[in-house]
Amino acid sequence: MTAASKQPSGAASYVSRPSAINNVAARKHLIALLALLPALVIFCAFWLLPFSRLIVMGAEADRSSGISAYLSILTHRQYLISLVTTVGISLVVSITAVAIAGTVGFFLARQRFFGKAVLAAILTFPLAFPGVVVGFLVIMLGGRQGALAQTSLWLFGERWMFAYSLAGLFIGYLYFSIPRVITTVMAACDNLDQSLEEAARSLGANTWQVTKDVIVPGIAPALLSTGAICFATSMGAFGTAFTLGTRLSILPLNIYGEFTNYANFAMAAALSVVLGVITWMALSLARRLAGGNLGASA
Amino acid sequence: MRSSVSITLNHCSRTFAGGNTALQPLDLHVNAGETLVLLGPSGCGKTTTLRIISGLESPDNGGQVLFGERDVTALPIEKRDVGMVFQNYALFPNMSVADNIAYGLKIQRLPRAEIAHRLDEVMRMVDLKGFGERRIDALSGGQKQRVALARAIAVLPKVLLFDEPLAALDAKLRDRLRIEIGQLLRELGTTAVYVTHDQDEAMALGDRIAVMQAGRIAQLGTPQEIYHQPANAFVADFIGAVNCLEVIGMQADGGLIVHGGELVATHLQGVSTVYCRPEDIQVVPLSQADIKGKVVQSIFLGQSQRLLVDTGGASPLQIEAPCRQRWPNGTHIGLNLPSSVLFHPEKTNTTDTTKELANG
């Protein structure tokens, strides 16, 4: 035994102090690794493996054209149109939702009136519905037997419909986007510093100028982030689109069609990856602007 | 610079939803070019008074706000031509320093050259030259409040309103900015109303001070009047420290017997208490003393020291003494309280007094 050793008897007494400390550290690392193992297993099994498989599959030859499916998206009109349509309608929906719900949310945050809590609850109610039900509601409004068709038939003798087109999709997406924006904007308005508005007014600014120079810049991060979430949600929304009709050329329906109807797995995989990347970019933008935990649901 | 305007409040009260009375009916006149300080503890109604003057709040029915001869009661703040400085600066975070200061000028649609000229002038006045392109979040607290000040004076307001502008700053900076604001107000000659709970600020800046308590003005006067002739015990206590000596008897020659000795105060016959400021009491040899006591504590303040002297009364007397001499605890010392430094507010019961003052 060395003089320096004050270890208890047994194997440990032969090691010098520094390496004993190293041993403790190594054991701690091992425990941490073991604790991390379930998370790693789940990550690999349910995320990393299928996703890398998806990415690789997307690079395989597309069944109809014989070239890599990623390339076919760019070279085939049909896929390109679907991509542009999906991004386009998602953008328009996001901007419209932010404009409408931003105004309503600001009004609700600032005004006090009887029944305000009930109104706010009703306005955020659509969040409770899945996409299928939203699609159903749009059909009730603008479908073949919808309220608009009945009214126009009675008035003009013809059925007016919009449910089975992009307009129907637009209404449906707007329907579930607005509640998200309203809640976010109300929270952002509560956090606005009222003395900024008072300062602007003291300098002679009218309501419009206060809104333009103080309120909108103040809630701009919230508007941008909530808009990005609307965009991500609209990009991936499947239930509503599926209910309204499979003839619509948008990405989620394309993926479903390639996969189930044509067994064109490479194309389905490539479209999924593209959809995922675009949505992820929008969400990471939102996260950077808002600094919170956000996720999209379809 | 624009000629200044007087401010008159007629019977302005303010009751909040729920029946909370923030302000009892108040009459107040601020002379043109004068700086009036509203001083009081939190919840005394000083900020409400300022907000009524600014137009951010309206007085209850029957109240009237006049700027000069003009009735502005119905005008919102944006039509009143006031410059306002807030405690939290309230600078627009999305604009640069220059854009903040020029905001009111742009609202007025002044020609670009005029805006540039005015901007230059006020930035020089508040010592911010060269800071124009800075972002607001790159400024220190003191610089932010200078920007806010510049923004408020740039529009040449009829009235300048300050809502505890220095409360968020540290002591040293507060002293410096206080001096600068004072110089600026004198230079501009604009009528100003300044809300604070800090008596030093009030003394340094106010041409007159309105000490407020529980929604009423407890006393309105020059700093000297407020300090030396406080209207009641609340004012006396709120402005600086004050000693309250109980009169426990009277000599045949009119001398007032207090704990520890006897005082001569012919102008205070028949009172039950006598007041005096710590700095007005002199430490003297025991043989020449009016009253005697025992030092129970000495607090070193740097430029002076505060002695607490037990004379047998309910609470020890506070005395401001030179800092270099030492009086260990337990030392018997003699105190001199000349007749001229003794005073007595009309009454000692604060609530009763304020009611009477508000009515009268």
- Between A77-110 and A166-190, two packed helices, what is the crossing angle to 10 degrees? 40
Question: For chain B, what is the mean pLDDT?
Answer: 88
Q: Is the pLDDT of residue B104 over 60?
A: yes
* Mean pLDDT per 10-residue interval, chain A, length 298 residues: 45 54 82 88 85 84 76 82 91 94 88 85 84 88 85 86 86 89 89 92 93 90 89 89 81 86 84 90 80 41
What pLDDT band is residue B356 in, cutting at 50, 70 and 90?
very low
What pLDDT band is residue B146 in, cutting at 50, 70 and 90?
very high
HSE-up of residue A70 (Cα within 13 Å, Cβ side): 10
Q: Do A199 and B54 touch (CB under 8 A)?
A: no
Q: What is the CA radius of gyration of chain A?
A: 28
HSE-up of residue A2 (Cα within 13 Å, Cβ side): 9
Phi, psi at A264, each rounded to 5°: -90, 80
Element (H, E) at B175: helix B171-188
Q: Do B104 and A198 touch (CB under 8 A)?
A: no
Contacts of A205 in chain B (CB under 8 A): 78, 103, 107
Q: Do B103 and A214 touch (CB under 8 A)?
A: no
* CA–CA min distance A230, chain B (Å): 25
Which site among B67, B91, B107, B153 would you substitute to test the A interface, given the most A Cβ atoms closer than 10 Å to its Cβ?
Answer: B107
Q: Do B78 and A204 touch (CB under 8 A)?
A: yes
Q: Determine the pLDDT at residue A142.
A: 86
Element (H, E) at B11: strand B7-16
Distance CA A174, CA A230 (A): 9
Q: Is the pLDDT of residue B118 over 60?
A: yes
- Count residue pairs from A and B with Cβ separation < 8 A: 60
Contacts of B161 in chain A (CB under 8 A): 202
Of B77, B90, B107, the CB nearest to A196: B90
Q: Which amino acid is at A288?
A: R
Q: Is the pLDDT of residue B325 over 80?
A: yes
Q: Which amino acid is at B201?
A: E
Closest residue in B to A201 (Cα) is B78
HSE-up of residue B57 (Cα within 13 Å, Cβ side): 18
Which site among B57, B81, B84 would you substitute to test the A interface, given the most A Cβ atoms closer than 10 Å to its Cβ?
Answer: B84
Cα B21 off chain centre by: 22
Q: Determine the pLDDT at residue B326.
A: 87
For the stretch A236-253, what's the b/e string if a residue is b when 16 or more beta carbons lie within 10 angstroms of its beta carbon? bbbbbbbbbbeebbbbbb
Element (H, E) at B161: strand B159-163
Tokens of A159: 């059925």
Q: Determine the pLDDT at residue A20.
A: 67
Q: Do A198 and B94 touch (CB under 8 A)?
A: no
Q: Determine the pLDDT at residue B270.
A: 79
Closest residue in B to A206 (Cα) is B78
Does residue B105 contact residue B118 with C-beta atoms inside 8 Å?
Answer: yes
Contacts of A196 in chain B (CB under 8 A): 90-92
Query: Predicted ipTM?
Result: 0.82
Which residues are B306's β-sheet partners? B299, B320
Contacts of B167 in chain A (CB under 8 A): none
Q: Determine the pLDDT at residue A6.
A: 46
Q: How many CB atoms lie within 10 A of CB B79?
A: 13
Residues of B with CB under 8 A from a CB of A: 54, 56, 76-78, 81-84, 86, 88, 90-94, 103-104, 107-108, 148, 151-152, 155, 161
Distance CA A61, CA A265 (A): 10
Which site among A195, A202, A210 would you substitute to test the B interface, given the most B Cβ atoms closer than 10 Å to its Cβ?
Answer: A202
| List of residues 6+ apart from B200 with CB closer than 8 A | B178
Closest residue in B to A198 (Cα) is B56
Q: Determine the pLDDT at residue B196.
A: 94
Q: Is the pLDDT of residue B251 over 60?
A: yes
Q: Do B90 and A203 touch (CB under 8 A)?
A: no
